[in-house]
Structure 1
Amino acid sequence: MARIKNKARDDGRLQSKVYIGTKNGKKQYKYVYATSTRELEQKVQELKTKLNKGLDLTADRDTFGYWGEKWLKLKKIEVSVKRYEAYSKRFENLEPIHDFNISKLKATDIQDIILDCADEPSEKTGKPYAKQTLIEIRNVAKQIIQLAIENRVLDYNCASAVKIPKTAEKSTRRALTEEEQSWITDTPHRAQTAAMIMMYAGLRRGELLALTWQDIDLDAHTIKVERSVSMIKGKPHIKEGGKTDAATRTVYIPGKLVNYLRNIAHSPLGLVCPTVKGSLMTETGFSRMWASYLNDLNIKYGDWADCMQTGGKCPSKYAPIEKPFLIPRITPHWLRHTFITLMYLAGVDVLTAKEQAGHADIKTTMAIYTHLDEKYKKKSINKLDEYLESIS
C-alpha cells in the first residue's frame, strides 16, 4: 500500500508525496498537487489504482514521440524496407502530438489530426488524404500506444476511439477499360514493356524492376518472380524473394504478352526494364519515365476537339506549354488490378488467381472477386432489362 504524506505549498496548493517503490536501491516517490483536500484525495486514489494495476508511474512523462521512435526501431527489424518507410511517413503525419505526454493523450488529439488530413491537401497529391491513408495513420497511433501499454505506461488505447470520416475520399484503384488496354498495347514507348508486363502478368513495380530476361521462358509462357527491388531513400536495392513468401511465384502469361516480348531486342542476361544505360531504375527515374509515357498517351488519345486551352488542336509533345490532362492518370496499381480482373473475366478460380497475383492472403483476392461479382452481375441484370424493354 502506498504511504501518503500531505503538506501545504507556498503557492497555496496542497501536495502529496506517494511512495511507489524502489529503483536501484533508492526510494521512488510520485508527487501530486491539488487546490483542495477533496481533489488531492481523488488524485491520490487515481495514483493508487494505477499502482495496483502495475503501471510504471516513473514513465508518466514519456512522450508519444518517444514511444513512436521505439516502435519504429522494432518495426525496422520486423518488416520490409518499403513498409518501414510507409510507417515512418505515417508517424510524421502524427507530428503534432509527438511532444504530448502519452499517458495523458486523448482520442480527440488524434482525431484532430485525422480530420485535418481529411480536409487539407497533401503535399504529394494536392488532394485530401485518401480514406486508406487516414486508416493507416490511426493504426500507427494505435500500435505506438499499444507498445506503451505492453510496457505498463498506461492501460487504455485512446486511438481505438478515433473515427474515420465517412466523407473521406477512397483511393482510386480500378481496372482499365478495353479501350484503355488498347492504348497500352498500341503505343510504343520505353515504358510500354513495363506496362505490358504489369497488365498481363500482374507484377508489382518492385518485382518488375528486378526482372531479368533469364526469368522469362517464352516457350513455356512463364515468368519467374524470385526477387524484387526496394527503394531506400529513392535508391534501388535488390532483395531475394518478394514482398511476402507468396510473392515468390511462377506466373503463366498469355500469348499476347509472349508475342510482344519476342519482338523486344535485349541482352539475354540483362534487366527487362532498365535505365537507358542498362542499370536499375531509381524511384525518380521510374517516375519520370512513367510521366513521359502518360504524356504520350494523353496527346494520342485525349479528346482535344473541345480543349479551349489548345484551340481545339492536339499539341505537340515537345510544345513548351502546360498541357491539360484529358485521360485518366493510369498507375501501375491499375495495371495490376487489370490483370486480376482479366483472370476473373476468363473464369480463373480464386485460388489460382491468388497464386498468380502473389497475394499473401486469399481474403485480398476474394475481396476483389466479390467486388467484380457485384459489378458484372449487375451488368447482366441490366442486359435482361434492356431485352425486356426491347420486346415490350
Structure 2
Amino acid sequence: MVSYQKRGNVWQYEISYKDADGKYKKLRKSGFTRKSDAILAASKIQSDHPNLKTAKAGSETFVSYYERWIKTYKKNAVSPITYNKYQNTAKHARKLFGSLKLKELTKLTYQEKLNEFAKTHARRTVSCLHKQLRACILEAMDEHIIASDPTRKAVITGRALPKVVKTLNYQDWAKLITHLDTDRIDEMTIYLAAVTGMRYGEIVGLTIHDLDLNRGIINVNKTWDYKYKTGFMKTKTATSNRKVAIDQTTIHRLSHYLSHHNAENDRPILMDTNNHVLVSAEINNALTAKLQALSIPRITFHGLRHTHASILLYRGVSVLSVSRRLGHSNITTTQSTYLHIIKELESQDKNKIISILNDTLN
C-alpha cells in the first residue's frame, strides 16, 4: 500500500509492507517538489524491489554486505589461504568505500575507487580485488538489492612493476644445483624445486612415505600449510596429485639427506628439530644468498619452477609432459604460462620443417 502526503513544501511517499517475520514495516522518502515525482519514485522502488524487503537492504553499507557474503559463502567452502585473500579484500574495501551504502554505489564511484587502489598496487592485485568484489555485487543483484551492476565494464589498471628476471638460463641453473649442499634443509628444498618443478607447499609437505627411491619417483599427494601452520592440506587441484620422476643424482642426494635426518613416518622430511618448516620469506632469503654467492641473477623461489619447465621445453620435452610434471589442471595453463617459449620453439620448428623438405625434395 502506498500513500502520499505533503510535508511543508515537499512531498513524501510511504509504502507499507511485511518483513520476513510477517510484521508490517514502512518505507518512507521525502523531498519531492511535486507529487508526481513522489509517485514516480515510489513506482520505481516497487518495480526494482518487488518484495520491498530488499529496498531496506540497500541501506546496508557495501563493506558490511561483502563481509557477510564471504562469511556465508566462502568461509567453509574455500581453503584458509583463499579465505584470507577474501578478508584482505575486505580490509582494502573498508579504506576505499568506507560507509558507502549498497544503493549509493554507482559505476562512476566504483571506477574512481578502483583507480585509487590502482595507484599503489600492481594490475594483477587490482584485478583480484575487482574479481572478488564483483562476485559479491552480482549476488546483491540476484537478491534485487541493487538494480544494476556498477562493476560492469570496469577498467583494470595498476602500477607498473619493474621487470625482473623470472628464470635462470641453463648454465646458471646447472651451476646452482651442483653447488647446493643438500644435507641442509634449506638447500635441499631449493634443489628439489630446481630439479622437479614442484610447488613450495608440495615440497615441504613431503614425508618419507612419498619417496619411492627404488623406482625413482616422488609421489605428490598433499601440501603443507607453511603460511598458517595448520598442517597438511589437499593439493591445489586434483591434477596436482601426480608422480614425479627423478634422476639418479637426486635419488642419491635424497638418500644421503635422509641418512642424516631422522624422518618420522608422518612428519615432513624438511621440518627441523624444532618442528619448524621454513616460510616463503625464509626460503627466498636463503635462495637469494646462494645466488649472490654464485654470482647468479636473483630469482624468486617460484622462479625455480618456471626455470625447470623452461629448460624442459627448450630441451624438446612436449608441452603435455611438462604440464603433467608441473601438475597443471590442463595443458592450456601450461601453454599460456610459457607462450613466449612455445612461440620461440615454433619458429625453430619451422626452420626444421623447411630443412626436411629441402633435403627430401632436392
> What TM-score bracket applies, with the shorter chain setting the length?
0.7 to 0.9
Q: Which residue of 2 aligns with 1:114?
A: 114
> CA 1:172/1:99 → structure 2, altered by over 3 Å: closer, same or farther?
farther
Compare 92-101 and 192-201 and name the one that shifted more. 92-101
Per the alignment, residue 250 of structure 1 pairs with 243
Q: State whether structure 2 residue 277 is matched by structure 1 residue 281.
A: yes
Structure 1 partner of 2:192:
197
> Residue type of the partner of 1:157?
D
CA separation of 1:299/1:117 partners in 2, compared to 1, >3 Å: closer, same or farther?
A: farther
2:295 counterpart (286, 301, 305): 301
The one-letter code of the counterpart of 2:277 is M
Q: Is the 8 A contact 1:118 1:165 kept in 2?
A: yes
Matches within 5 A, 1:134-153: 134-153=126-145
Q: CA contact under 8 A between 2:217 and 2:246: conserved in structure 1?
A: yes
Q: What is aligned with 1:50?
A: 48
Counterpart code for 2:285: A
1:118/1:168 contact within 8 Å kept: no
In 2, Cα distance between the equivalents of 1:50 and 1:163? 27
Task: Indicate the residue corresponding to 2:318 in structure 1.
Answer: 349
Q: For the Cα contact (< 8 Å) 1:204–1:332, is it kept in 2?
A: no
| CA shift for structure 1 position 203 | 1.6
- 1:160 is aligned to 152
Contact 1:235-1:282 within 8 A present in 2 as well: no
- The partner residue of 1:187 within 174, 179, 185 is 179
Q: Which residue of 2 aligns with 1:241?
A: 234
Q: Deviations over 1:117-156 (max 9, x none)?
A: 3222xxxxxxxx2222111000011011122223331232
Residues 112 and 371 of structure 1, relative CA distance in 2, 3 Å threshold: same
The structure-2 alpha-carbon separation of the partners of 1:297 and 1:370, relative to structure 1 and needing over 3 Å to count, comes to closer
Cα separation, 1, equivalents of 2:82 and 2:310: 26
For the 8 Å contact 1:16–1:33, the answer to whether it is kept is yes
Which amino acid is 1:145 matched to?
Answer: I
Distance of 1:113 and 1:160 partners within structure 2: 14
Q: Give secondary structure in 2 for the equivalent of 1:159.
A: coil
Quote how far apart the aligned CAs of 1:23 are.
Answer: 4.5
User: 1:168 and 1:162 mapped to 2: Cα distance?
Assistant: 19
Q: Name the counterpart of 1:217.
A: 212
TM norm structure 1? 0.77
Flag the 1:202–1:52 CA change in 2: closer, same or farther, 3 A.
Answer: same
CA contact (8 A) 2:170 2:311 kept: no
Cross-structure match for 2:101:
101
Match of 2:100, SS state, is coil
Gaps of 5+ in 1: 121-128, 303-326, 384-392
Equivalent positions of 1:328-367 (< 5 A) are 328=298, 330-367=299-336
Partner of 1:14: 11
Backbone CA RMSD of aligned residues: 3.0
Q: Deviations over 1:194-244 (max 9, x none)?
A: 11111221221111111123312223121111221124xx44222353122
CA shift in 2, pair 1:239/1:274, >3 Å = closer
Question: Against the structure 1 CA distance between its residues 155 and 356, is the aligned structure 2 distance closer, same or farther, given a 3 Å change threshold?
Answer: farther
1:310 matched residue in structure 2:
none
SS at match of 2:27: strand
Q: 2:171 aligned with 1:174, yes or no?
A: no
Q: Does 1:89 align with 2:81?
A: no
| 8 Å Cα contact 2:119/2:159 also seen in 1 | no
Task: For residue 79 of structure 1, give the secondary structure of its aligned residue in structure 2.
Answer: coil
Deviation digits for residues 146-193 of structure 1, max 9, x if unmatched?
A: 222233312322123321127754996833212331342143354221
The answer to whether the Cα contact below 8 Å between 1:350 and 1:369 also exists between their aligned partners in 2 is no
What residue identity is the alignment partner of 2:337?
A: I
Q: TM-score, normalised by structure 2?
A: 0.83
- In structure 2, runs of 5+ residues without a counterpart are 353-362
CA distance in 2, matches of 1:245, 1:354: 13
Q: 1:75 Cα deviation (Å)? A: 0.8
Q: 1:71 to 1:379 in 2, by over 3 A?
A: farther
CA contact (8 A) 1:198 1:204 kept: yes
- The amino acid that maps onto 2:105 is L
Give the drift of 1:378: 5.0
Q: Distance in 1 between matches of 2:216 and 2:270?
A: 19
Query: What corresponds to 1:66 in structure 2?
Result: 64
In percent, how many aligned pairs have the same letter?
19
